[in-house]
Amino acid sequence: MPKLLITFFILIFISSCTSKQVADSGCGFVVGSHEAEQERKQKNSRSGQKHEKSDSDIINGLLSALFGADGCT
């Protein structure tokens, strides 16, 4: 019984760490892609261009998720 209980707590601990890492990565993706879009919006508005969606926002979001993004708590 004690072995089963210890195994149970280890599995809970590992899964909670993994869940937090996944949540942090998701947050990094959202923050990174949003910041990239906002910067592009400001740049386009200054030059008088129309704002359009871009795949570069997704790429920036993925890079932010991989390398960490500020603003995730």
Q: Tell me the C-alpha distance between 60 and 32, whole Å.
A: 6
Residue 51: how many other CB atoms lie within 10 Å: 12
Whether pTM exceeds 0.85: no
Per-residue pLDDT at 17 = 65
Per-residue pLDDT at 6 = 77
Per-residue pLDDT at 70 = 62
* 67 closest CA partner among 29, 15, 41: 29
Higher-pLDDT residue of 46 and 71 is 46
Arithmetic mean of pLDDT, 16-21: 70
* Residues 40 and 51 sit within 8 Å (Cβ to Cβ): yes
Residue 39 has pLDDT above 70, yes or no: yes
- Give me the residue spans of the domains in the chain: 28-44+57-67
3-class DSSP state of 48: coil
Q: Tell me the C-alpha distance between 56 and 37, whole Å.
A: 9
